[in-house]
Amino acid sequence: MSINLLKYLHDFYTYFRITLTAPPKIYFAPFQGITTQVFRAVYARHFIGVDKLFTPYFSNFEPGCKLPPRKLTALKNQFENGVEVVPQVLSKNADEILWLAKNCEQMGFNELNWNLGCPYPQVASKKRGAGLLPYPVLLDEVLEKVFSEINIAFSVKCRLGYASADEQKAFVPVFNRYPISELTLHARIGKQLYSGQPDMEAFAEALTLIKQPLVYNGDIFSREDYNQFTSRFPSINLLMLGRGVLRNPFLPMLIKGIELPEDPKTQIRQFVDELYLAYREERDDNPSVLNAMKEYWAYLAESFDDPLRVFRKIRKAKKFTDYEEAVADIFDTFKWEESDSSSPQKH
């Protein structure tokens, strides 16, 4: 058989395997300052395809005291348009975690997620987030106490390590001793932050070690990226998507093969307009609404044909009217590019 025929048969097989296997479950990753309660609610009203929404992390609260009103508002809904919301905690203190878990349980949440992935030095240097990964004994102590008292599911979001992916050889066996409901793994180490590529070799090694249901996270920006990932890791059917969904809110639909609306650009416009109005209402027209929209547009701009010019227009806005004019101009002038090349069903 010729090499070409073999390659053709392989591509044919891969195409059918991906098309015929059940679509993955997709979780929308948390983003401090972006995936707020308002954002989650508006997103879930406009788009389908996401199976769980995660809150940005909660930290620095005082066990025993009441949750402050701002945090209570951030935990307002356990479901957004039918999609489950999972609160997240950043802490190295079992009592703090358990106290938030109790509050979440009383509010009707089914799961609490533990952030062991935050890579930023001001967090990690205090042995929190990814900074706790090099300390398996501490991890063990926290997990033992948490699992002795918690009444809701407890999941973990982590990286391959903080300073080296070798750390996983010590912390994964600790995780394996506990009934962690799901383990989300971002395939970088903490020190990388978001630079460079995900380390898929180290991820493949992790896959052989981890006993809990494994959720993959890292750099899936298109249907094509998903196809490549799933050809290499066909056993993984849980994905957490972050920047890819911020850029292209239709990404979960594209990955699941759900037909896009006839005019996706108009739906994106309706979504950002509603988000803006919802923030204005929530914040009583406080100018901080512009900052929130600018943070989000830093990602959404990437899905237009000239991201730099699109974002510059938004960044310049100093007043609500400037912002509204910039948005109108962007939707009139620029092409929204994300619905095609990677879509299985282009309309």
Ligand X SMILES: Cc1cc2nc3c(=O)[nH]c(=O)nc-3n(C[C@H](O)[C@H](O)[C@H](O)COP(=O)(O)O)c2cc1C
Binding site for ligand X (CB under 6 A): 29-32, 56-57, 88, 115, 117, 157, 186, 217-220, 241-244
Shortest CB 36 distance to ligand X, Å: 11
Residues 6+ apart with CB under 8 A from 208: none
**Distance, CA of 254 to CA of 338 (rounded, Å):** 10
Q: Which is nearer to ligand X, 131 or 218 (CB)?
A: 218
**Distance, CA of 59 to CA of 56 (rounded, Å):** 10
Shortest CB 182 distance to ligand X, Å: 13
| Residue nearest ligand X by beta-carbon distance | 242
Q: How many CB atoms neighbour CB 24 within 10 A?
A: 20
Q: Which is nearer to ligand X, 57 or 334 (CB)?
A: 57
Do 49 and 26 contact (CB within 8 A), yes or no?
yes
Shortest CB 319 distance to ligand X, Å: 25
The three-class DSSP label of residue 19 is helix
Shortest CB 56 distance to ligand X, Å: 4
Residue with tokens 């995936």, as numbered in its chain: 35
Q: How many CB atoms neighbour CB 179 within 10 A?
A: 11
Q: Which is nearer to ligand X, 88 or 269 (CB)?
A: 88
Give me 59's structure tokens: 């930290």
Q: Which is nearer to ligand X, 61 or 331 (CB)?
A: 61
- The torsion angles phi and psi of 135, rounded to 5 degrees, stand at -120, 75
Residue with tokens 């699941």, as numbered in its chain: 256
Shortest CB 39 distance to ligand X, Å: 12
DSSP string for 153-189: EEEEEEEEESS-GGGHHHHHHHHHTS--S-EEEEEEE
Q: Which is nearer to ligand X, 315 or 319 (CB)?
A: 315
**Distance, CA of 68 to CA of 74 (rounded, Å):** 10
Q: Which is nearer to ligand X, 228 or 261 (CB)?
A: 228
Give me 178's structure tokens: 């506990």
Q: Which is nearer to ligand X, 88 or 192 (CB)?
A: 88
**Distance, CA of 209 to CA of 191 (rounded, Å):** 22
